[in-house]
Amino acid sequence: MASAITKVERFVDKTYKNDFMKGVHKLRQKEEFTDVTLQSGDVHIRCHRVVLAVASEYFKAMFRCGIQENTTDTVQLTMEPDIVINIINYMYTGEIELTVDNVQSLVKACDILQRDALKAGCEDFMMSQVDLTNCVGFFRFAALYRLHKVQMKAKGLMLADFKTVAFNDEFKQLSCSELINCIKDDDMIVDDEDVVECVLDWVHHDLLNRKSSFETTLGHVRLPYCTGHYLRHVLDTCDLLTPKWTPFTNTKLAVAGQYHVHTSECLVVVGGLSCSQDNAVVENNICQYYDESTNCWESLTRMPPSVGRYYSVCYMGSLLLTGGHKGGAAMDECWLYDLVTKTWEPMPPLITARYYHHSISLADCVYVIGGKGVDKTNVLASVECFSVSRRQWSRMPDLQHAVRIPMAVTYGNKIFVLGGRDAANKDVRYTQVFDSTRCECTTQSDMTEGCSLGAAVTMNSAVYVVGGHNRCCLKYDPATNTWTKLSRPLKKHGIAPAVVWRGSILVSGGGGAKPESSVIEQYDPLTDSWCDWKTTLDAKQNFHAMFHVDLKDA
């Protein structure tokens, strides 16, 4: 008799898995058959060991080993109570709600409990949250918890808009290795001079602990692509470089010559007002440089024929002249002098005609600040910015206080606008700070005394305000927002420029309504003392500009 064919059929209950999880979850909610308590703070959650062991390698290892948690009824967890509740609900249901507020804490919990699938889900959620305002924080967090997709996205944003990101408070919290990891990346889109400023800003945020890392970090910046002028400025104004590093710096300066003009250090004096032989005030229409080999001032160029007086000149590898006053009216002229071709070229005019203003360069831009405009009774608070590469002017946020004949210096990504005179012709003590990255103007501690028509420079991580009619000498520490009074100059230097020259500060000429002095005084910050410099100007001058310049075959 033939055997009957045995029929085999596999039955699959498609609802059983979900029903099983729901059933186990209900048992936990009713605390039926639970055999362990998870405690976080004041929160106690009754659970089933077997469920925790299946859901987490961390709990499986804990319950297998002969450690205290295997024999006790209570397991202490260091995670936040809300996170523990969410994680346990997830282990029993497979579902969890991710939010901006809890996702990072969940990642930390997943790292401990070894829940890789949930950690990957958190990473995908975080990818949608990364932007320029938080990319530095996400970069650091992702590196710590091995979230490679988030780390790559955050770093990409940092490199693509480095100048915006590099000067915010979060960036200053980077470790030395994290900072180096960013600045040595070839995908970084930023001028290398901005990178040096970023490194300086990062060091000064915690000078005591980071000073020793400065040279190591700076060694990863592409210094050969910085201008010789800028590198010389760093050498003159930065006191963080040790003697043993100087030969390397000089090598970089030499290499920079392959990309820029071969440099020759000179002091250059530009325009202003001078006195004729009969003591009349005349417009000084020449620029001169000081030849150390002959101890004489030599002619460099004549000023453009259309300029008047009370203009401003700044140096950024070339000379940029803005504004002025002529024929009883404010001017909007702008001229660029190329030190290589030795020619003046007209640039697009200022947005607002002005005189008695200040101009200063920062990175690829020149900022024109304050002054007086067409209406002679008003003092300007307006600031405008000239992009040298685009040959274009744009408006910036106004100063907090309108001033004319202000002093201004750069420090990192900031411009410090100091003192000046208000609409009542009164000397003011304001310390106004324009942040070029955030495009905003704030105020810091006022100067301890006014510097009537003085000058300012940055040297050795500090700002110095010198000269003026009241023979002022003040030192400002941006890190502590404090002012210190120093020894006064020997003579008055009203409306006279200052410049950093080989570790000292030079102030030249000066006067009031007309030029009164040709004396150049030298300040030594190490000894806090003043003396006459080795030479004088060719004539009594004021309203002129003076710069430490690299000239080619001048």
Give the pLDDT confidence of 325-362 residue by residue, as tens digits.
998 999 999 999 988 888 999 999 999 999 999 999 98
Which tokens hold the place of 14? 């498609």
Cα 180 to Cα 91: distance, rounded to the nearest angstrom:
41
Token pair 């003396």: residue: 531
Task: Check residue 247 and give its pLDDT.
Answer: 41
Domains of the chain: 35-127 (3.30.710.10), 158-259 (1.25.40.420), 266-299+453-541 (2.120.10.80), 304-446 (2.120.10.80)
Name the residue with higher pLDDT: 227 or 382. 382
Residue 142 has pLDDT above 80, yes or no: yes
Considering only 114-118, 320-324, 419-423, which range has the smallest mean pLDDT? 114-118
Considering only 65-69, 146-150, 236-240, which range has the smallest mean pLDDT? 65-69
For CA atoms 308, 310, 315, 316, the dihedral sign is negative
Burial (CB < 10 A; 0-12, 13-18, 19+), residue 552, is middle
Task: Check residue 3 and give its pLDDT.
Answer: 60
Largest distance between two CA atoms of the chain: 144
- Determine contact, residues 54/94, Cβ cutoff 8 Å: no
Name residue 93's amino acid: T
Cα 339 to Cα 261: distance, rounded to the nearest angstrom:
10
Task: Check residue 389 and give its pLDDT.
Answer: 84
Return left, alpha or beta for 307; rule: phi > 0 is left, psi -120 to 50 is alpha, else beta: beta
Cα 35 to Cα 545: distance, rounded to the nearest angstrom:
83
- The per-type count for the chain, helices as H runs and strands as E runs, is 16, 32
Enter the DSSP assignment of 279. Answer: S
Q: Is 477 helix (H, G, I), strand (E, B) or coil?
A: strand
Name the residue with higher pLDDT: 194 or 424. 424
Residue 484 has pLDDT above 90, yes or no: yes
Percent of all residues in the chain with a pLDDT value above 70, rounded to a whole number? 92
- Determine contact, residues 353/332, Cβ cutoff 8 Å: yes
Task: Check residue 517 and give its pLDDT.
Answer: 93
Instruction: Show the CA angle centred on residue 474, arms to residues 471 and 476, nearest 5°.
Output: 160
Task: Check residue 257 and give its pLDDT.
Answer: 42
Cα 218 to Cα 203: distance, rounded to the nearest angstrom:
10
The confidence band for 283, taking pLDDT boundaries of 50, 70 and 90, is: very high
Task: Check residue 375 and give its pLDDT.
Answer: 84
For the whole model, what pTM was predicted?
0.62
Task: Check residue 434 and give its pLDDT.
Answer: 93
Which tokens hold the place of 38? 């998870």
Short-list 159, 97, 100, 170, CA closest to 130? 100
Kindly list the distances between the CA atom of residue 366 and the CA atoms of 389, 392, 480, 550, in Å, as whole numbers in the listed order: 11, 10, 27, 19
